């Protein structure tokens, strides 16, 4: 009951914060000729140099849990991504980019804006990174599953594996995100937005790769990516319910 009350309270706070927050700033992103995908400057640079405190990060994360869930599992329908186990570098970059207006996310902005300083960015990121990656997440459940996975694997290993890794582990020091355990619908939405030029803080190298893919190919790649797991980083499978 306490957990239910907390969840309802956080959801009400989330709605109020989103309604009351000022509009997000708008910085020049990938559409600008001077855009630098990962410029190390401002609070992002400061946060990356700091050691995050997981205990303080847990407290700061409570408001995030209203959308991303206390476990960091996000939502299988793709509205909110799975965060647990993500690299601190990636988390700090994305939060800083949203705060600076480099990434458009009207829902997230009011909450990212409440983080007070680079230290709090580092704290929240440190807490999220150590969470186990949920085993149960949104996977592709459409037609021709085996065919989609086979096609997606071929495309992934050809052009995605170099950055995102064999098991979707990403590369922390290069800011390449973990994609293992990520929801299929979220992956598909983000890749579509990157391809179509709507993700303004996208990596230009990824844009070049993904630009040539049609919708069917993006579906296949997303289906395969959502099937990836990282040995040693996934949550333990839940024990089957005992029969009464």
Spatial CA neighbour of 93 closest among 68, 61, 59, 118: 118
The answer on whether 235 is annotated among ligand-binding residues is: no
- Residue 146 class from Cβ within 10 Å (0-12 exposed, 13-18 middle, 19+ buried)? exposed
Cβ atoms of 181 and 133 closer than 8 Å = yes
Give the Cβ contact number of residue 12 at 10 Å: 11
The answer on whether 87 is annotated among ligand-binding residues is: no
The answer on whether 132 is annotated among ligand-binding residues is: no
Phi, psi angles (nearest 5°) of residue 133: -80, 120
The answer on whether 68 is annotated among ligand-binding residues is: yes
The answer on whether 108 is annotated among ligand-binding residues is: yes
Phi, psi angles (nearest 5°) of residue 83: -110, -30
Give the Cβ contact number of residue 119 at 10 Å: 17
- Residues of each annotated binding site: 64, 67-68, 108, 160, 163-164, 206
Annotated binding site for heme c: 64, 67-68, 108, 160, 163-164, 206
């Amino acid at each position: 009951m306490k957990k239910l009350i907390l969840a309802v309270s956080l959801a009400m706070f989330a709605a109020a914060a989103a309604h009351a927050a000022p509009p997000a700033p708008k910085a020049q992103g990938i559409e600008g000729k001077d855009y630098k995908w990962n410029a190390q400057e401002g609070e992002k640079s400061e946060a990356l140099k700091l050691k995050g405190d997981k205990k303080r990060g847990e407290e700061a994360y409570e408001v995030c849990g209203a959308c991303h869930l206390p476990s960091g599992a996000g939502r299988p329908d793709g509205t909110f991504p799975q965060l647990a186990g993500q690299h601190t570098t990636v988390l700090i970059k994305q939060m800083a980019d949203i705060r600076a207006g480099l990434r458009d996310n009207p829902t997230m902005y009011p909450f990212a804006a409440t983080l007070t300083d680079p230290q709090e960015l580092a704290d929240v990121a440190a807490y999220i990174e150590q969470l186990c990656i949920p085993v149960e997440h949104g996977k592709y459940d459409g037609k021709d599953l085996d065919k989609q996975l086979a096609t997606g694997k071929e495309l992934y290993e050809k052009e995605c594996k170099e950055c995102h890794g064999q098991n979707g582990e990403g590369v922390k020091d290069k800011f390449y995100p973990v994609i293992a355990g990520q929801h299929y619908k979220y992956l598909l939405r983000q890749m579509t937005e990157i391809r179509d030029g709507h993700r303004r803080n996208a990596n230009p190298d990824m844009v070049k790769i993904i630009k040539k893919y049609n919708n069917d190919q993006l579906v296949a790649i997303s289906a395969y990516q959502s099937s990836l797991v990282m040995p040693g980083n996934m949550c333990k499978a839940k024990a089957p319910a005992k029969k009464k």
